[in-house]
Amino acid sequence: MNKAASFHVLLVEPANLLRRTVSLTLRDLGSAEVTEAATYPTAQQMCDQRRFDGVVVALEWPQPSDAHRGLTLIQQIRSGECACPASIPIAVLVESCNAELIGLLRSCGVSRILIKPFRVRDVIDTIDSMKEQARS
C-alpha cells in the first residue's frame, strides 16, 4: 500500500481551479488520496457515506444563511453525525480571519487555518500535520 492510499482526505472547495491544484499536488507528491467536493451538500453526502482521515474545507465568513456551508459541515462532523470519527483532523481555507472566527474554529477543534492565497507548501505541511495528529 502506498503512502497516499493510507491517508484519505476530503477536500471541500467551491473554486474549481484551487480545488484541482491542491488535489493534484497532494496526489502527485503521494501525500494523500484526495476526494474532491465542489459543494457542501456533496461533501455532506460523502461524509455520511465514507470515512476520511482528514478534512480540508473552505469556509465563508461571516457565514452565509445557507445551512449547507463549511461551518455547519464541521459541526456535523464534530457532533458524530458523519461516518468520519468526530476527532478527525480538520483544516479550513478562509479569505480572512478575525478573533471571532479563530475562537469559533478553536471551539470546533479545527487543527489548522490556511488564509487564501496560501502556498502549496502550506497545504503539504497541513496534511503532514494531520497525519501526525491522526496517528496520536
Tens of pLDDT, residues 111-127: 999 999 999 889 889 99
**DSSP for residue 32:** -
Grid coordinates belonging to 68? 449547507
- Write out pLDDT tens, residues 51-108: 999 999 999 877 666 645 888 899 999 999 999 999 999 999 999 999 998 999 999 9
Mean pLDDT of all residues in 6-22: 94
Domain ranges for the chain: 4-135
In three state form, how does the secondary structure of 43-100 look?
Answer: HHHHHHHCCCCEEEEECCCCCCCCCCCHHHHHHHHHCCCCCCCCCCCEEEEECCCCHH
CATH architecture assignment, domain 4-135: 3-Layer(aba) Sandwich (3.40)
Q: Please give the pLDDT value at position 2.
A: 46
Per-residue confidence (pLDDT) for residue 61, from 0 to 100:
79
